[in-house]
Chain A
């Protein structure tokens, strides 16, 4: 005779009516995510407390890319810090160049020539475009959709080609100088730029067709990673993240620097402050950047070739023919290279609207050729701080798109 099933007995015991009411004795789980996680394009570690799949609390641990940016800046000449600023946010290197040089120029009290200012805006907007393309493309990639990423990369490639043509390098451009830029616009640049701009518009439209109303993409982004307007203010969040939450603040409009006052562009504002709003704000900002680029190219064509550096002996590098033929110029060149400018004693804070928000530089000089302090206000770090607020109660999987749209760049966050 067959024995009664033991399994059935067990099941009967476990699934009895009284047992259905029983607490399952689950407990919170601590999960380490990072520092090198395939779905976070940045070196950062999250220590997450999970209740099932829901985030109860998390500790964000940054610093894996710390390389002593400020210490390095404090041990070289003022101009030697510019290549380091390239490596802060390496997606939009020129914007950091501009921010640093504006702060030093504020201390030196120099006004750069008009042509230089337009070139700075042009190169900066190209950098912003590349940054936003990376952000939106990588977000798609990490949500497991490869094709839009390739469209984003193709557009970024065109942008980087333009940056290379204008600045001489693709990623870390090192284009901006204290008191000017490295060189003027190449004569064939406007034609190439116009072609690329219309091509990038097309690619952005293609990109939008695949993702903007894609059901999976929308479902992953809508109502995830929400941050209220009030929390944006409390946590000093700036940039597209704050604008997506409905905070109408853009340094280019509200505290215009360089020639932004003369440029016609709009600042997109979101409503609810979720990841989908952030995506829409970024896409619209890219179209606006393209608009600004067109206006810059047009104006620079009208201005024609001419000086792009301020004629101030403290920061001006002598022209080569002068160096080879005049003793004073040779000495000037020697002093410029070995020592660099002596910046008057004082302190200054200058900020630019970088791709991630307010990128500020607080510089202190004691009147010598070496800075006392070069502080970078990193929007990546400050925007990352409320991640634990955005994620409280959310699903574990929502960390990925939220982290993408915060666009934390390790180089800038950890400095």
Chain B
């Protein structure tokens, strides 16, 4: 496993080697692929370790690789104001048990972003304080950004609720 010149990846390899599956820095984006069970501890390390110091969760999203196992990938984009560097952390999530630990305790910005991922992909975030759909309505059936959700599929129109 290589650090590709990134301080954050070097620290991760030193301290959290067991949690890492793979690292790369293709196109200049330092990336770490992480075991799903250890993602919460690793994110906490990334936030609290002074050399990493990732105080901002810039973005959180997921990708559906239909046909691969594990099927989903949850992607975190981190940024550090103190050290001015970025890191992408990814973890694979299986279709049978689409669950990851929440990051809301580390960064409040994760709240809506995790709700959106749940809304769009049906990935549940364990111990999320308020895991409702974010963009769609609660009667919506299915998770539209999954690759097996047909783009043409229509949902029933609902009238106003009083």
| Contact surface of A with B, Cβ cutoff 8 Å | 62-63, 66, 68, 70-72, 74-75, 106-107, 109, 233-236, 247, 249, 254, 346-349, 358, 360, 362, 364, 372-373, 375, 377, 381-382, 385-386, 414-415
Contact = CB atoms under 8 A, between A and B. Distances in A.
A63 B59 contact: no
B131 interface: no
Given A62-B134, A70-B145, A381-B112, A349 B84 contact: no
B57 A236 contact: yes
Interface in B118-140: 120, 133-137
Given A109-B27, A360-B58, A360-B59, A235 B109 contact: yes
B61 A362 contact: yes
A154 to B, nearest CB: 36
Contact of B107 (A234, A254, A358, A375): A234
B77 interface: yes
Nearest to A230: B55
Interface residues of B, number: 35
B59 A377 contact: yes
A233 B58 CA distance: 10
Interface string B143-156: 01100010100000
Interface of B: 26-27, 29, 31, 55-59, 61, 63-65, 75, 77, 81, 84, 88, 107-109, 111-113, 116, 120, 133-137, 144-145, 149, 151
Per CB-CB distance, the 10 closest pairs between chain A and chain B, nearest first, are A63-B135, A236-B109, A377-B59, A66-B135, A375-B61, A373-B63, A235-B109, A385-B112, A236-B56, A348-B27
B57 A347 contact: no
A349 B26 CA distance: 11
B29 A71 contact: no
B117 to A, nearest CB: 10
Contact of B59 (A109, A347, A362): A362
A247 B27 contact: no
Contacts, number: 84
Given A349-B29, A372-B63, A377-B59, A63 B137 contact: yes
A70 B62 CA distance: 12
Nearest to B111: A385
Contacts of B137: 63
Nearest to B107: A234
Given A233-B56, A346-B27, A414-B135, A247 B81 contact: yes
29 contacts: A62-B135, A68-B144, A68-B151, A70-B145, A71-B145, A75-B151, A107-B27, A233-B56, A234-B109, A236-B58, A236-B107, A254-B84, A347-B26, A348-B27, A348-B29, A349-B29, A349-B77, A360-B58, A360-B77, A362-B59, A362-B61, A375-B59, A377-B58, A377-B59, A381-B112, A381-B116, A382-B109, A382-B112, A414-B135
A189 B136 CA distance: 44
Contact of A362 (B26, B55, B77, B120): B77
Contacts of A372: 63, 65
Contacts of A254: 84
A323 to B, nearest CB: 32
